[in-house]
Structure 1
Amino acid sequence: MDYAALSQIIRVQHLGIFGGFHPRPEDCAPEGTGTLLLLGPDEPGFWAHVTSEPEFADGKPDPMDRWSRRVIGHLACDLGAKAQFPFGGPPYAPFIRWAGRTGRAWVSPVSILVHDTAGLMLSYRGALALTEQIDLPEPPPPPCETCAKPCLTACPVNALTSDGYDTDTCHRYLDTAPGTACMTRGCDVRRACPVSQSYDRLPEQSAFHMRSFHP
């Protein structure tokens, strides 16, 4: 099965291929992997789709992760692949390393990963480890090379900078009245990215992730 056919199968679940690569031994992919594909929300439409699924109606914790396990697990079974997830550890699968290997995610000016289509709204829901080595599209150039980099000045408390992510400062700000905007619409820095703005992720989804980060 080729890349285009796989993309169509995966898109039925409102997921997209966020990059892939042919693993080397040092990549710590499952043994026998010929191609590793990273999956993320396919926008627009992901949030309406996923929140209509059973995991978001049963009142149990972690609906997004449980949905990801079920859906990507079924995809893996159908494709004769192995499913991998960025949660559920330790130990954790090395998704940040894998992201860099795809050539479609880079360290942004504010030190977190930026993706060619999701921008700073990047979220991996899982990965498929295929036994076949399929041909992959040529990766695009990093978007930050031609960007004015509004992310560098977007954080009101300088929690996200080129020096790294000061999560303590971020959490303190989110507890204040001005921090409510980040909690309900998503991180100011992530929203400032021009690629993020073209990704069509709904504020409701960003608010869900913010509540997970800052309960």
Structure 2
Amino acid sequence: MQRNQIIHGEAAQELMKMADGSVDLVVTDPPYLVNYKDRTGRSLLNDDNAAGVLPVFEPLARVLKNNAYCISFCGWSALPSFTAAWENAGLQIVSQIVWKKKYASRTGYTQYRHETAYVLAKGNPAKPARPIADVQDWVYSGNKRHPTEKAVEVISPLIRCFSNPGDTVLDPFSGSGSTSVAAVLNDREFIGIELEKAHCETARARVAGAQAFKTRQNGVAREVAA
């Protein structure tokens, strides 16, 4: 499969077209299976359909290289279902990362003031040379492009920590493309897969902007070096 593209399609089906061990890192933010709606009524496809989300992790693990990492955001309410899917796919939880928020995104039994991602390992990858802290400060994206958009500033440290320049980063739940944009800005290749056509088009436009920025940046660097 060609790299550096955002694919419009169903993740499990598109992953079937990819070769075994063809990506170096997965960073993804799947639907949390909570039937989420934001303040304006926007929702996510498959957020009420575990069969559209959890089976993706098995082909995801197949295309991930041996001894490599997958970083998956996840909400606590469906964590047992996700952990079972990860285990069945051969992905082991080796750490978690928590982002603390300055605001409450929801209020229930407690105020929800954090986001969590799990560091999953396929095989026995080497530990990062410069591990990031497992508690990070949250950067709010504004959710203008997508109901649960993660800021590029949140994703970039993950990519720098768990991959190397030139590596291929996969996001099978691409949304508005933050993972792919972060990959471009950090000199990685990318593959994004997105089910909703409108979000796919948004991601492609964002990636094109990031690529143009990197081209200008590299041009300036060459001029300075000359």
Q: Could you state the TM-score of these two structures normalised by the residue count of structure 2?
A: 0.28
Q: Could you state the TM-score of these two structures normalised by the residue count of structure 1?
A: 0.29
The structure that is strand-richer by fraction is: 2
The structure that is helix-richer by fraction is: 1
